A and B are shown apart, each in its own frame.
Chain A
């Protein structure tokens, strides 16, 4: 079972799902009552002009014909033009994606560092005081609306205390941004040894990442706890006790066993936060992919919405494949299954 064959097989499964997602998005925005043509042409346009634009965008064709044409062009890397930005959708995505990745990666990373140990500890004594406490905390995190949390953080840390910079974008407008290399303003500034820009980028990150981390941590705690409890009740842990292994050894066996399902869950969490980022980006004027996609949805920018959805689908497929690869390395049974 080579890695290449494994990858090929995963892609074969993933492509129909991605196409299905795209199809749903494609149909949804078109059956709605938004008319992009009128918006695009402006108030001065007359009927023949509207018809001409409609024909240009193939909007007068049957839906399936439109979808097929879109797929063909997408396969060649052409996702159409975004009307709001008047630019190629691929270009817009490339420009906005790094900002979102920066935010989500940090939130998921911190959420993992905080959530996994809490979940593991809670599972040591189910229904003990720490477990009840962490369970309440995680349910509370589940109940927090990110955007509201962001607004309150802005009020407290920007307006009241003045510790945080204005919630407008990824770097202060008074600072020259570094040349984009990785797309992360923070990393780019560090690479360019531009300490002023790095400090500004870091301070812009604190509030959105902090809010997002709170929300990201809750499901990680809950899931880690459930996985750890299941592992601790498994036959092999009971057998390890019967073998007289000391707690240290048993804990190590349990941790290794929990690693794979926890990793799988965090992968899924990453993709769902990629979408949820749109709200926190909206509040902090972050200008990432989520913000851009949300605007596209609100404005009925067809090509951009499709591109956004396609990007999310591809990202989730990629993350699942990466997780599967990691599982393949960690888990002997997966190698047998292939």
Chain B
């Protein structure tokens, strides 16, 4: 069953500059992907590619001046765009939850950990206080926080970054959602802690058969924790497919560059890294957005490339996808 389906999503920001001009930044330019039940999809790309924005749009958390001029988002078959707040509130935090990137500052500083977990349940359901307390404690144990009974009484400022991130995972899973969106869940953590936190998240997602969308700029995270991957560039998905497939036969030049630039692979595969900046979002060029940085750019690239199937469930938005480099 398809949990989350994003189809041709566009997001833009309109702002008036000091010179009284309205400037429109096209941040997402036709993003399409699906997350199936029980599947972990990695959304990968460089800073500014629109990964977090995609997550915010899916959660219905975009606020003006951001707006969605075109596209659709469906969750469990229901279109989310235009859904009234009251209906969205029954999905957000209950069926679809989010793990954010700055755990230490995201928890309510004036409430104990246990109470925050209890509030999360009671806001979204009719659990009694005692039930909610028992479940909160069980959840802390499930995210492998030692001595959960005592930790229920802890204040957020008493936690380490890794512990706080585990609490956020507990918050995200305590209501038994169908889909978890993890936005750069391990930035700012030590490498060893990163691995532990991600292991915990993967095990829980697997155990409970949840769908997950993991947003990261780290291909290593994708390789270890995801089944499928979607590569984003300048507000578009340039390549998507099963992780093994994409890593073994990257079809889009950007994916190739991304994989090549991951340390340890550069020498092995002999790809050169293409530098450069992302295109100006205020003034997007026609055609392929990657062509200024692309080694294979050709006159054909002045026309926007369609997604081309290369293998089973593997596609890339490049005119030359599938051809030998």
Contact = CB atoms under 8 A, between A and B. Distances in A.
A–B in direct contact per CB < 8 Å: yes
Interface of A: 234-236, 238-246, 249, 253, 256-257, 330-333, 336
Interface string B99-112: 01010011111110
Interface stretch (B90-98, B223-231, B310-318): B90-98
B171 A243 contact: yes
A294 to B, nearest CB: 43
B89 interface: yes
A236 B109 contact: yes
A333 B123 contact: no
B109 A244 contact: no
Interface string B283-312: 000000000000000000000000000000
Given A249-B123, A333-B155, A336-B158, A241 B61 contact: yes
Contact of B89 (A238, A246, A330): A246
A249 B107 CA distance: 14
B59 interface: yes
A257 B123 contact: no
Nearest to B93: A244
B123 A246 contact: yes
Nearest to A240: B108
26 contacts: A235-B100, A235-B102, A236-B107, A236-B109, A238-B61, A238-B100, A239-B106, A242-B59, A242-B93, A243-B93, A243-B171, A245-B123, A246-B123, A249-B123, A253-B110, A253-B111, A256-B110, A257-B109, A257-B110, A330-B110, A332-B109, A332-B110, A332-B155, A333-B109, A336-B157, A336-B158
A242 B98 contact: yes
Interface residues of B, number: 27
Interface in B62-119: 88-89, 91-94, 97-98, 100, 102, 105-111, 119
A246 B94 CA distance: 12
B152 interface: no
B110 A243 contact: no
Contacts of A242: 59, 61, 92-93, 98, 100
B105 A234 contact: yes
B120 interface: yes
B149 interface: no
B202 interface: no
Contacts of A238: 61, 100, 106
A235 B101 CA distance: 10
A249 B93 CA distance: 14
Which are the 3 A-B pairs with shortest beta-carbon distances? A244-B93, A244-B92, A239-B106
B124 interface: yes
Nearest to B92: A244
Interface of B: 59, 61, 88-89, 91-94, 97-98, 100, 102, 105-111, 119-120, 123-124, 155, 157-158, 171
A119 B108 CA distance: 22
Nearest to A241: B61
Given A242-B61, A249-B119, A235 B105 contact: yes
Nearest to A260: B110
Among B98, B106, B120: residue with most chain A CB under 10 A = B106
B93 A245 contact: yes
Among B110, B120, B124, B158: residue with most chain A CB under 10 A = B110
Contact of B107 (A239, A246, A336): A239
Given A239-B106, A244-B93, 20 more contacts: A234-B105, A235-B100, A235-B106, A236-B106, A236-B107, A236-B108, A238-B61, A238-B100, A242-B59, A242-B61, A242-B100, A244-B88, A244-B89, A244-B123, A245-B93, A249-B119, A253-B111, A257-B110, A331-B110, A336-B157
A217 B124 CA distance: 39
A239 B123 contact: no
A134 B107 CA distance: 32
A239 to B, nearest CB: 4
Contacts of B93: 242-245
A333 B124 contact: no
A250 to B, nearest CB: 10
Contacts of B109: 236, 257, 332-333
Nearest to A239: B106
Among A241, A242, A246, A257: residue with most chain B CB under 10 A = A242
A242 B93 CA distance: 7
A236 B105 contact: yes
B79 to A, nearest CB: 18
Contacts of B123: 243-246, 249
A232 to B, nearest CB: 11
Contacts of B91: 244
B61 A243 contact: no
Given A332-B155, A333-B157, A336-B157, A244 B124 contact: yes
Nearest to B112: A332
Nearest to A257: B110
A94 B197 CA distance: 63
B92 A239 contact: no
Contacts of A256: 110
A272 B88 CA distance: 48
A336 B109 CA distance: 13
A336 B158 CA distance: 9
A197 to B, nearest CB: 46
Nearest to A245: B123
A336 B98 CA distance: 30
Nearest to A332: B155
A334 B124 CA distance: 31
B119 A239 contact: no
